[in-house]
A and B are shown apart, each in its own frame.
Chain A
């Protein structure tokens, strides 16, 4: 399967714990995006990378959230001191720079904070 992959698929954690998610984009895609989706809402943009550079962050991305893409391939999203309001589906997407904004999504990581 050469699509976008994410792991874990599900994560249950207690409030206050740190969690880290991983995204592996389609191999030739140089752009990688993170989104958050809650029930009944569309995905909300969090941040994106072009190669290893993080070029944009949404105001939704509080200082408890950090994302990295150290070698321009896979990316990690870490949430520190999780809160119940962080419970959501975290989606990763990737795209070719040439095919502007036609993004391919991974299956997501569903986070539940107890």
Chain B
């Protein structure tokens, strides 16, 4: 299994719909997980942190399944401004303090 794996998409979703995508990770010792959002030609920005079973922030919900080693991101009532690439991020592990990023899932919200 790759360290962090995501479906690159693109996911084309109508405005107002609910969309969810998953990320699988290989380091079973990871304790913290992150979703970053990256707009085209911009830097990644932290969207959500996940330290336990999940986290909710407004329209966004992140869930963690340790047994199956995946993290999901759910976006409800999607807005045009949600169009972006969503990067799943896992600590590199093995005593390393860097982060391992997935390739990202490209989301396009259509009017």
The reply on A33 being an interface residue by CB < 8 A is yes
Cα–Cα distance between A91 and B44 once the two chains are bound (Å) = 9
- Number of A-B residue pairs with CB-CB distance less than 8 Å in the complex they form: 52
Q: Which single member of B32, B44, B92, B103 contacts A105 (CB below 8 Å)?
A: B44
Q: Which single member of B8, B46, B96, B101 contacts A43 (CB below 8 Å)?
A: B101
Q: Is the interface of B mostly helix, strand, loop or mixed?
A: strand
- Chain B residue, CB-CB nearest to A41: B103
Give how many A residues have a beta carbon under 8 Å from the other chain's beta carbons.
23
Cα–Cα distance between A104 and B34 once the two chains are bound (Å) = 12
The reply on A107 being an interface residue by CB < 8 A is yes
Cα–Cα distance between A40 and B41 once the two chains are bound (Å) = 11
* A residues lining the B interface (CB < 8 Å): 31, 33, 35, 40-45, 48, 55-56, 58, 91, 100-108
Contact of B103 with A45 in the complex, beta carbons under 8 Å: no
The reply on B43 being an interface residue by CB < 8 A is yes
* A45 contact set on B, CB distance < 8 A: 92, 96, 98-100
Q: Which single member of A58, A101, A106 contacts B32 (CB below 8 Å)?
A: A101
Q: Kindly supply a per-residue 1/0 record for chain B positions 84-111, scoring 1 wherever the CB is within 8 Å of any chain A CB and 0 otherwise.
A: 0001010110001111111110000000
